Chain A
Amino acid sequence: MTRHSISPRKLLPLISFSVLLIATFALQERAMSYLGLNLLFNLTIPIALATIGQLLIMVNDIDLSVGAFVSLVACIVSTLLVQHPWLGWLALAGLVLAYAALGALIHRFELPAIVVTLGMSFIWGGLALVIMPAPGGTSPEWLRALMTVKPPLAPMAVVAALLIAAAAHLLIMRSGIGTVLRGLGGNSRSVARAGWRLSGLYALTYGLAGVFGVLAGLTLVGLYTSSGASVASSYTLLSIAGVILGGGEFIGGRVSPIGAVLGALTLSLAGSLLAFMHISPDWQIGAQGAVLILVLAARLLFTRREALI
């Protein structure tokens, strides 16, 4: 037998997403349109990108600086990149390199990533405040145009989500180097024994996560057309929740990029659904948490059942 039957556990991200989507459509028929879908998922694009960045790190670590990092990128994009494009791109490239260096350092000195990234989140946040003490700025014209493009058939938000999921799947699940990076999470000793330089691989992982963080910041500014030093501060927890909702685990390199994008979509859908149900925004964060716990409980049940078979 070469084909595997897909276990219900793997389908869970799709199932939970579908359930919420159907519920949303039932409550608000107008969401079931080109414009409606775009409004529903527009703001998820940067979250989905940040979630992929988080997923790369979560192959064997966790990144608590995603939110601050994306905010800093957004600040640079909405100021420096508009005024001095070259300098702006240079700064963004520098940020990616800094992320890569961080990965190499974390491996070289066996530092706990959770602590290093928590510390870095304050540095990113501080830099963002220096660049942009008060919210404001504008979006580069081309970026705004890109994010408001209206492709035929499906709205931009849906197309972008599909593109992100496909690209991340190819990179992480299908490509050779993605396989090695996942192997790093599964058993780093075995990867080292095969002759790989681990510090290089860690730098690559973090560098790639940095690239996705930069993409998240870019799309964020394209959508909001402005930014602030804490514009994306909720992304840290949203991205972690997205990976978990998508069937990923904190350790062992068991991740699913498609699931993670679905997880990010599910989370923002949960917010919209609660709004349609006229639940006060005060309760929304808590309700999102409840959705997360529900999905995790369902996953646990499936895992238990699989273990028994």
Chain B
Amino acid sequence: MNTSQPVEAVVALRGVHKQFGAVRAIDGIDLTLTPGECVGLVGHNGAGKSTLVNLINGTLKPSRGEIDSHVTRGGRGSAIRSVFQELSLCPNLSAAENLRIAHPTLKGLGWRRRAGAEIRTSLDQVFPGHGIDTDARVDTLSIAQRQMIEIAIGFAPRGGQARLVILDEPTSSLDAGIAEQLLAYVERFCAEGGTVVFISHMLGEIFRVASRIVVMQDGRVVAERASQDFDRDSLVDAMGHVAQHAPSAEQRRHAEGSVSAGAASATVIEDAAGLSARRGEIVGLAGLAGHGQAEALAKLYFAGTSGWRAPRQPRMAFVAGDRGRDGVLPLWSILRNLSLSVLPAGAHRGAVDRRAEATLGREWQQRIGIRSDDLGNPITSLSGGNQQKVLFARALASSAPIVVMDDPMRGVDVGTKQEVYALIRAEADAGRTFLWYSTETEEVCQCDRVFVFRDGKISAELSGAEINEERILAASFEMQEN
């Protein structure tokens, strides 16, 4: 043990390096995690956060350096738990059965009952009033509910005690109320002597829970301070992005002079439920997660695109939020993933024009900043945020006049978000229509008009200055009183 530490560290890393072939993922990190603290870990996509997590939890061995820990680390029965950004439950099992997989001592007759009780207790502690059926197969639950189960499994005792819980973007698919429950629980957990590493692109959350903030860039820790010594700008600076505030919705709308979003432009979408969009408009779908927004988008999209033949001029393009399920084609290269939407248009007598495809790939790599030396690499070689950029490029590269986006910014870092906001705005000004479902108020405020969903129905339509957090929250909860 490292005796120089005043408090016995849960995990201490000293001079840790990790190399994958020629790539230095982690380049000399010293980090000590002590009981009772919540460490916020920030850095843009590809900074090495995931590798660091896997070193801390014992999945990876360092190429150089030492990692000391006085708790069980790695394997089953580990006191160090990780909750990953990409949903990693077994979708064909129930919540209780998923707990069984991570639980070394759940054996013998009646394990099902005990597993059910343990996961329910854990869910009740973290998310009071969650209303999740722990015997239902996970793939019948919403993404938010799955994420909640994953978090609950992370904090569950599992025959021991969770000492360090690493949360990687835990709130990216949770709505504000449930995210707040999690943050409150993280505080209680730390107050009782537990340790949490909290990775998030939502800086507000980091400031809310973290006692210390560690900033990573290119595999190194570039800043490490108590969280009160940071403010939003200095933190974003430290991450390596120039702090660029999103122009507030109102400023932008004033400046823009509503050329594109004017009432004069033609309505291109109108459905029975009351959803409508005009040419060149960015329409937001807001409300609490899982209240029918994704379904409304899917209905609209399939109604507009399903057919036996892919048309050369598609009417709509789709950007997936659940990348693994309906976004990336994991066996294909970056380029193939990107060019998928334009294949019918670029085809020459039924064969793909490889040269045009490569040109298109290079053009979009530059425009949207996909970090890869070779677009021929498999898409899975990219970090989550970069994969998402490819999906954006896929949709924007098509000639479709309408782009449907299903919570597309999940797990995307601040810098990338700003770039994509600007891109979307520019495309809308050029006459494209965007339908944008998001669980984050900041994104919704980028829209010209917002439909707030509640219980599968539109509960409010907001536009212009009405689009703000209070109005959206009010509309999300309004009908609950009855």
Q: Which residues of A contact B (CB under 8 A)?
A: 1-2, 4, 174, 176, 179-180, 182-183, 185-187, 189-191, 193-196, 252-254
Contacts and interface: CB of A to CB of B under 8 A. Distances in A.
A195 B97 contact: no
Given A176-B106, A176-B111, A186 B92 contact: yes
Contacts of B136: 4
A183 B98 contact: yes
B79 to A, nearest CB: 12
Given A187-B91, A194-B102, 4 more contacts: A183-B93, A186-B92, A195-B76, A253-B90
A252 B76 contact: no
Interface string B67-109: 0000000111110001010001111110001101110101100
Nearest to B88: A190
Contacts of B112: 174
Interface string B48-64: 00000000000100000
A1 B133 contact: yes
Interface residues of B, number: 27
Contacts of B419: none
Given A176-B106, A191-B101, A194-B76, A182 B92 contact: yes
B101 A183 contact: yes
Interface in B372-414: none
B90 A182 contact: yes
Contacts of B100: 176, 179-180
A255 to B, nearest CB: 9
Given A4-B135, A176-B107, A183-B98, A193 B82 contact: yes
B135 A180 contact: no
A185 B92 contact: yes
Nearest to A175: B111
Contacts of A186: 90-93
Contacts of B93: 179, 182-183, 186, 253
A231 B428 CA distance: 68
B185 to A, nearest CB: 22
B7 to A, nearest CB: 28
B159 to A, nearest CB: 12
A196 B111 contact: no
B133 A2 contact: yes
B52 to A, nearest CB: 16
Contacts of B90: 182-183, 186-187, 190-191, 253
B25 to A, nearest CB: 18
B88 A189 contact: yes
A101 B78 CA distance: 29
23 contacts: A2-B133, A4-B133, A176-B100, A176-B111, A180-B101, A182-B97, A183-B90, A183-B98, A183-B101, A185-B92, A186-B90, A186-B92, A187-B89, A187-B90, A190-B101, A191-B90, A193-B82, A193-B88, A194-B76, A195-B76, A195-B78, A196-B101, A253-B90
Nearest to A255: B92
A176 B76 CA distance: 15
Given A195-B74, A195-B78, A253 B92 contact: yes
Contacts of B84: 193
Nearest to B138: A186
Contacts of B101: 179-180, 183, 190-191, 194, 196
Interface string B107-138: 10001100000000000000000000101100
Nearest to A174: B112
A11 B104 CA distance: 34
A187 B87 CA distance: 10
